[in-house]
Chains A and B, each alone.
Chain A
Amino acid sequence: MIRSHVLICGGTGCTSSGSKVLISTFEKEIEKNGLAEEVKVVQTGCFGLCALGPVVIIYPEGTFYSRVQEKDVAEIVSEHLLKGRLVDRLVYKDADEAVIEEAGKTLSLNDTNFYKTQKRVALRNCGLIDPENIDEYIAMDGYAALGKVLTEMKPEEVVQIVKDSGLRGRGGGGFPTGLKWSFTAANAADQKYVVCNADEGDPGAFMDRSVLEGDPHCLIEAMTICGYATGATEGYVYVRAEYPIAVARLQKAIDQAREYGLLGKNIFDSGFDFDLFIRLGAGAFVCGEETALMTSIEGNRGEPRPRPPYPAVKGLFGKPTTENNVETFANIPQIILKGADWFASMGTEKSKGTKVFALGGKIENTGLVEIPMGTTLREVIYDIGGGIPNGKKFKAAQTGGPSGGCIPASLIDTKIDYDNLTAIGCMMGSGGLIVMDEDNCMVDIAKFFLDFTVDESCGKCAPCRIGTKRMMEILEKITDGNGTLEDIDKLEELAYYIKENSLCGLGQTAPNPVLATLKFFREEYIAHVVDKKCPAGVCKGLLNYTIDADKCKGCTLCARKCPVGAISGTVKNPHVIDTTKCIKCGACMDSCKFGAISKG
């Protein structure tokens, strides 16, 4: 009889920090201690706290062990599983170090600050079930929504319930999902399609990957429901080839669903046929745009085409097509089972439900969080995210990746939803949330994202192909210290021109990081061009390292560390940096024990 489950994260984050070997080590140790009949090892999807991986959770206690290494396994098995004693040094502790230990109850995963304010809908099974076992998904009410839809509901009732729920596209645009479905449903055709956009390309975003890796059956169920609601009998999941674990698990899940008759002909004896196929993307960012994505599935070079006609009229292979993002689909089975009212009870007036964010950058708890819409940025960063490391000051949060903008510290109490973010010139995007502190230069951040879109522009239309390149050149001029005030005006003018004239979403949103930083941090741009200073000390072209002669003891350490021999001086006498030779690597400043070197 199994009395305890050891859940080991097999997501990409934990796999790369070494969780694979833990599984076999745990099995070996459990066998050695004669617990094979009592303890089961399960590989799951992502728990969310990727920075602390590999993550191991032991149920029924729900004890949360972080950064577990192979050498720790024997101790966990003999102490926790055999003797019931926690291995304290590995138990995850909140930033305030409080380990809640009530009588007979140890700190469970759900009591930690990181998890307790989260509300998991799209990620509900991630980290809880074995994604490669369809039976575990079924045990969590999996495929019950599909059964209900096919046996009790008419297609238009399904569309209506999705409409009533208020669900909006989680890929970034925020278009009402039910409305999208109704457009496809209204178009009669001999063949229609369902397409899932799993071409997650924003730097720092990995929520779709987590769903695919942790709960692939959920996507299959949702796409089949969508097929029934819109009259489609075939579906395609377009996923990046860079997600090998996700692709393998999804394929396995599709095979299992076919074997169970949950994909294929006459599902649940309802007369409805549906089948699903995977198409791999080669990692072009533009293929996340819906028309380019469909062009790529058709076997052509991934380039967008003008809309209208919209995919609901003329989509994949010229047929009516519904296209949604992974996270959008992941909400569907729950909406069917629990009802539109349940879903609409979460969130704000116009943004219902929850949103998954990938927290990254200057934050303690890097990872995935799912929060109700309307949660403030402050709660996300300080309560869930654990705040900014090293006591630094929060400066801004970047949302929406290369298509988005930033939320400055002054707006930290903004309630996060589609409309509030749009109102401040930002956007939800797919959910990447990159936190920046006082050491980040906003001009440099804008340059980073623009560099990405310059690379990823497909080249079909001139505004995006040429315009972003020209913007990039102006930004480089500014960060090199050669910019003028006119350059800032030119940059802004060009940005608006590109927004208005580009063919697809990539070009239309590419200038956003520049516009948002110009809006909230214009004084930083001005400091770069007028004072020729980078206030955060990032832009190398504007930096000068100097040695304070009063503090310098003449230890010669910096001169020895300097890779280009730019520092001169004799023992016990103050040293000097030759700024013409200096490459501004900062090695001298890191090495100085007396704090004599400063940059500015």
Chain B
Amino acid sequence: MKSLAELAAIREKMKDKVVLREGTGEIRVVVGMATCGIAAGARPVLNAFVEEVTKAGLGEKVTVSQTGCIGVCQFEPVVEIFEADKEKVTYVKMTAEKAAEVVEKHLKGGNVVSEYTISNVIS
């Protein structure tokens, strides 16, 4: 290595890999991963979130993690999005494709994708 640019390149390449450990981001995406969630297909949803968030360069801002049963098993896979000073948004019956859309529109664009939210399904 002979230049700062090379050092910066390694830093950029590695940043995504250690950003997970930087504590909690401003936005928390929590995927329900209990037996009901996994059976309904939460696993690809979780992976899609991780992948899309990294791709969109939101790794420092968004933390993707998992939790147990949220309690509305019939609507699994359930994903909840927490953001400071904002109301929690709950997405239901998620798929990997919907996850990508949520990352693009909600996490990046700041607009809740209301057609996938729980309020839309219930009412």
Contacts and interface: CB of A to CB of B under 8 A. Distances in A.
A83 interface: yes
A84 B24 contact: no
A133 to B, nearest CB: 9
A139 B82 CA distance: 27
Interface of A: 1-5, 7, 38, 59-62, 82-86, 103-105, 108, 110, 128-129, 135-136, 138-141, 143-144, 147, 151, 260-262, 266, 268-269
A110 B88 CA distance: 23
Interface stretch (B45-53, B101-109, B110-118): B45-53
Contact of B34 (A60, A85, A139): A85
A256 to B, nearest CB: 11
B20 A1 contact: no
B28 A105 contact: yes
B20 A38 contact: no
Contacts of B38: 82-83
A261 B46 CA distance: 40
A144 B88 contact: no
Given A135-B10, A139-B18, A1 B54 contact: yes
Contacts of B3: 268-269
A38 B47 contact: yes
Given A82-B38, A135-B10, A260 B82 contact: no
Given A60-B65, A84-B66, A4 B11 contact: no
A504 to B, nearest CB: 42
B35 interface: yes
Contact of A60 (B1, B11, B47, B63): B63
Nearest to B49: A3
Given A84-B32, A84-B33, A108-B24, 17 more contacts: A1-B51, A3-B20, A4-B65, A59-B20, A60-B65, A62-B23, A83-B68, A86-B68, A104-B30, A128-B18, A135-B13, A135-B14, A136-B18, A139-B10, A139-B11, A144-B11, A262-B1
B61 interface: no
Interface in B22-62: 23-24, 28, 30-35, 38, 46-47, 50-51, 54
Nearest to B70: A104
Given A60-B63, A85-B34, A104-B67, A3 B46 contact: yes
B18 A140 contact: yes
A220 to B, nearest CB: 14
A141 B11 contact: yes
B2 A268 contact: yes
Max chain B CB contacts within 10 Å: which of A4, A61, A136, A139?
A: A139
A103 B23 contact: no
Most buried by A among B17, B28, B34, B80: B17
Nearest to B42: A84
B82 A103 contact: yes
Interface of B: 1-4, 7, 10-11, 13-15, 17-18, 20-21, 23-24, 28, 30-35, 38, 46-47, 50-51, 54, 63-68, 80, 82, 88
Given A1-B50, A1-B51, A104 B7 contact: no
A84 to B, nearest CB: 3
A-B CB proximity, top 7 nearest:
A84-B66, A139-B14, A84-B33, A85-B68, A3-B50, A104-B30, A1-B51
Given A59-B20, A60-B63, A151-B4, A138 B68 contact: no
A5 B34 contact: no
28 contacts: A2-B17, A2-B50, A3-B20, A3-B46, A3-B64, A4-B65, A7-B21, A59-B21, A60-B24, A62-B23, A62-B24, A82-B33, A83-B38, A83-B66, A84-B33, A84-B65, A84-B66, A103-B88, A104-B28, A135-B13, A136-B14, A139-B14, A140-B18, A143-B7, A262-B1, A268-B2, A268-B3, A269-B3
A104 B1 contact: no
A60 B53 CA distance: 14
A268 B1 CA distance: 7
Contact of B47 (A3, A5, A59, A147): A3
Nearest to B13: A135
B18 A129 contact: yes
Nearest to B88: A103
Contacts of B30: 104
Nearest to A40: B17
Nearest to B35: A83
Given A103-B82, A136-B18, A84 B2 contact: no
A108 to B, nearest CB: 7
B14 A138 contact: yes
A110 B21 CA distance: 11
Contacts of B65: 4, 60-61, 84
Contacts of A103: 82, 88
A84 B63 contact: no
Contacts of B66: 83-84
B64 A84 contact: no
A7 B17 CA distance: 13
Given A104-B30, A104-B82, A261 B17 contact: no
Contacts of B23: 62, 108, 110
